[in-house]
Structure 1
Amino acid sequence: MKKKAVPKSPPKKSSPKKPAVTKGVGAKRTESAAAIVEELRKLGSQSTKNTLMKHGAREPFFGTKIQDMKPIQKRIKKDYQLALDLYATGISDAMYLAGLIADEMQMTKADLETWLKGAYWYMLSEYTVPWVAAEGPHGWALALKWIESKDEKTAAAGWTTLSNLIAVKPDDELDFAAFLKLLQRVQKTIHQQPNRVRAAMNMFVISCGGYSQPLTEKAQAIAKAIGIVEVDMGDTSCKTPFAPEYIAKMHARGTLGKKKKTCRC
């Protein structure tokens, strides 16, 4: 007599594993742009607003000090979409914070072009946007495009992007022949450029001389040939650095050729 087959018990269903939530890049978002904007609003002050308005800031903004943004930056680390959302508010404080938390490797050329278009004063167009561009994969191409623009803001952003590139990229990733040509271009044209472009070109010479030793000698010679660069800083106490002295000070400090870990601050 054949034995009856004993039916097998159905396999136990295993509970699906919960996806791990990592901090920083790629982390699950837990904060909204609206909540952070409200946090920035509470951190703002009228005295800081008054100072920033002398530099070109305009409403809407809260006057939040950069040092007060740092804990928020530390908490969020990097968040691509949140950075886009903050920048899109048009609120200067939020736009600046967006640059601090942007994931530069996810930022597309279109994102950076949009950011530059919306950057209505130099703290955004010459700091926030160039910082993120220089640390990402599109900095070189966009910088070369932007410096050809007839628009003062765009051209200045291009030169400051180049300055940041040379400050953070290893020398073996730099095209020295191209940088030498750019230095020669600055020498020939800087005094005929619009105000903010003159300022950006001057900093480009300093960056070449200070952050890449193979370019130091040439940059220093060009800085001396250029001489004093006149830049209208408006109703502020800011002064245009004299490139030969600035490069010499970096040499005296022993920091020539020392790269930055990040442009953003």
Structure 2
Amino acid sequence: MKLKETLLQLEALSDEKMRAQNIRQGSGDNQFGVRLGKIRKLAKQIKTNNALGMELWATSNIDARMLAILIIQPKSLSADELSDMVESIDFSRVADWLNAYIVKKHADKEMLRIQWIDKNNPWLARAGWFLTAERVVKQPDGLELSALLDRIESEMDEAVPEVQWTMNMTLVEIGIHFSNHRKRALAIGEKLGVYRDYPIVKGCTSPFAPIWINEMVSRQN
């Protein structure tokens, strides 16, 4: 499948309500407004296609980038190529898909985590904290959790929204999975108040750290 043909297929799937929703959530105008389920369906038809995926990514179109994420193999990207992709992001939903489907599966993710977490670019830092939250859960050995909590306590309140989201994820994962750090994680969440008044859809858990931590711990028990 060629780039032009793929873009025409995406455009044919456009939905004005989805487009409006994206704009409310901070997207720009370079999009068709395709519902995520339809992007997934198209990706299944295309299957893996690294070359097309990179062409789609280069358009900066939101829907094209979402599709690209699903058809690119993480192992096909060098660390520098992946860094360039992350740095070029301009919409949180694209960032979250890239982190979930490519970044966390990349062979060099630990090296990149260390590099990205201190970057001034908010999307690199968001990805760095995303990988830190994942490592807290899956491979915590070697992480200095107390030092991470120190940093979150001193920086999260003033962090830009893009970075604040995954810093908060890290705080929550520490509180959920490490009972010896839970009291402090809860206290940091209460002290900073980040996401305390976040609007919640019925049936979803608040991202406010004390609520999120307590809810997940109660499910474990």
Match of 1:185 in 2: 151
Q: Identify which of 163, 169, 176 aligns with 1:203.
A: 169
Correspondence 1:99-178 to 2 at 5 A: 99-125=69-95, 127-131=96-100, 132-166=102-136, 170-171=138-139, 174-178=140-144
User: CA–CA distance in 2 between the matches of 1:161 and 1:182?
Assistant: 13
Mark the CA change 1:114 to 1:152 in structure 2 (over 3 Å): closer, same or farther.
Answer: closer
User: CA–CA distance in 2 between the matches of 1:104 and 1:141?
Assistant: 15
Report the alpha carbon displacement of residue 203 of structure 1 after superposing the two structures with TM: 1.6
Report the alpha carbon displacement of residue 111 of structure 1 after superposing the two structures with TM: 1.4
In structure 1, stretches of 5+ residues that fail to align are 1-30, 257-265
Of 116-125 and 236-245, deviating more is 236-245
Q: Deviations over 1:137-170 (max 9, x none)?
A: 1222212212212233332232123334556xx4
Match of 2:217 in 1: 251
Match of 1:218 in 2: 181
User: CA–CA distance in 1 between the matches of 2:134 and 2:8?
Assistant: 31
User: CA–CA distance in 2 between the matches of 1:180 and 1:33?
Assistant: 48
The reply on whether 1:229 has 2:205 as its aligned counterpart is no
- The one-letter code of the counterpart of 1:229 is V
Of 59-68 and 111-120, deviating more is 111-120
Of 86-95 and 156-165, deviating more is 156-165
How many residue pairs get matched?
215
Does the 8 Å CA contact 1:147/1:155 hold for their aligned counterparts? yes
Kindly indicate which of the two structures has a greater share of residues assigned to helix: 2
User: CA–CA distance in 1 between the matches of 2:74 and 2:179?
Assistant: 28
Q: TM-score normalised to the size of structure 1?
A: 0.70
User: CA–CA distance in 2 between the matches of 1:232 and 1:71?
Assistant: 35
The reply on whether 1:49 has 2:19 as its aligned counterpart is yes
Does the 8 Å CA contact 1:45/1:62 hold for their aligned counterparts? yes
Bigger RCO (CA 8 Å, 6+ sep): 1
User: CA–CA distance in 2 between the matches of 1:182 and 1:80?
Assistant: 36
User: CA–CA distance in 2 between the matches of 1:89 and 1:184?
Assistant: 40
Match of 2:60 in 1: 90
SS in 2 for 1:105: helix
- The one-letter code of the counterpart of 1:226 is G
User: CA–CA distance in 2 between the matches of 1:43 and 1:242?
Assistant: 35
Q: Deviations over 1:147-199 (max 9, x none)?
A: 212233332232123334556xx44xx43434553233212321232233222
User: CA–CA distance in 2 between the matches of 1:225 and 1:68?
Assistant: 40
Q: TM-score normalised to the size of structure 2?
A: 0.82
Q: Deviations over 1:63-122 (max 9, x none)?
A: 001111121233334333232121112111010121122211222112111212321122
RMSD of aligned residue pairs (Cα, Å)? 2.8
Match of 1:241 in 2: 207
Mark the CA change 1:201 to 1:219 in structure 2 (over 3 Å): closer, same or farther.
Answer: farther
Report the alpha carbon displacement of residue 47 of structure 1 after superposing the two structures with TM: 1.3
In structure 2, stretches of 5+ residues that fail to align are none
Match of 1:11 in 2: none
User: CA–CA distance in 1 between the matches of 2:136 and 2:44?
Assistant: 26
Match of 1:19 in 2: none
Does the 8 Å CA contact 1:56/1:121 hold for their aligned counterparts? yes
